[in-house]
Amino acid sequence: MEVSGSGKDCVHEEEKSSDSEGLITFKELDHSDIRNNADRDEGNEILCEQSINEIKDYLIFSILSMLFCQSCCGFAAIVTSLSCRNAKKAGNYYKAKAKSKSSLVLVISTVLSGLFLNILLIIYHFAQIKQIFI
């Protein structure tokens, strides 16, 4: 493999010819080509904006889980929901998607642990009442 080209603004391309296995060349970028391609790809940009807007941040569920289930895990869910919302506003799709998933996991774990603890508390109180009457 051979490498040729200049050190500034390079693009990696593989060219295959009949006399060599693979020749790696670097070619200087023409920024006008990038702008022209960007003009053609406006549909992809709109699609990307729509997909960012479709990401849910689960803020309402986080607030409700903090109020009704557990405050510590619910608070963590609110923080991740707000960071998801900030990533959506910044246009960072991957960070927003990851924070959305984290927020959903925290909301579900908050609700499940809150239900589990409440059930244990009810069982404990019934056991105490039963001991009083016996």
pTM: 0.60
Question: Crossing angle for the helix pair 93-133 and 42-53, nearest 10 degrees?
Answer: 10
The pLDDT tens digits of the residues spanning 41-59 come to 444 455 466 688 889 999 9
Q: Domain segments of the chain: what residues?
A: 1-40, 58-133
- Asked if residue 62 lies in contact with residue 77, where contact means CB atoms within 8 angstroms, the answer is yes
- CA-CA distance, 68 to 114, in Å (whole number)? 8
At 79, the pLDDT band (50, 70, 90 cuts) reads very high
